[in-house]
Amino acid sequence: MDERYLLSPVAEQWLTQILSSKAARQGAVIRRKARDVERMVGREAFLAEMRRRGFATVENAGQFVILCNREPIRRLT
């Protein structure tokens, strides 16, 4: 985690749990409600961690969609 963002133990555990899920470990896509991310970790701290890992993150309809890999993104429509 970026040293500017000191997380509570609960926030650190929540973030570790989602990023160590099978899907995340395999480089797949995961999603979480934006409200949950903001409540548990905070938007800026969460996005800083995604940048640190090189994971693309998009927000749509109240959801964060995290691409747990560093592959290029092609928008098709």
The domain spans of the chain are 9-67
Q: What is the mean pLDDT of the chain?
A: 94
The share of the chain scoring above pLDDT 90, in percent, equals 91
The pLDDT, as a whole number, for residue 5 is 76
Residues 26-45 pLDDT 10s: 999 999 999 999 999 999 99
Q: Using an 8 Å Cβ cutoff, are 64 and 73 in contact?
A: no
Residues 44-56 pLDDT 10s: 999 999 999 999 9
Output the pTM of the full model.
0.88
**What distance separates the 2 farthest-apart alpha carbons in the chain?**
41
Q: Helix H segments across 9-68? A: 9-19, 22-25, 34-40, 43-53
Task: Tell me the C-alpha to C-alpha distance, in Å, between residue 23 and each of 18, 27, 43, 66.
Answer: 9, 6, 21, 11
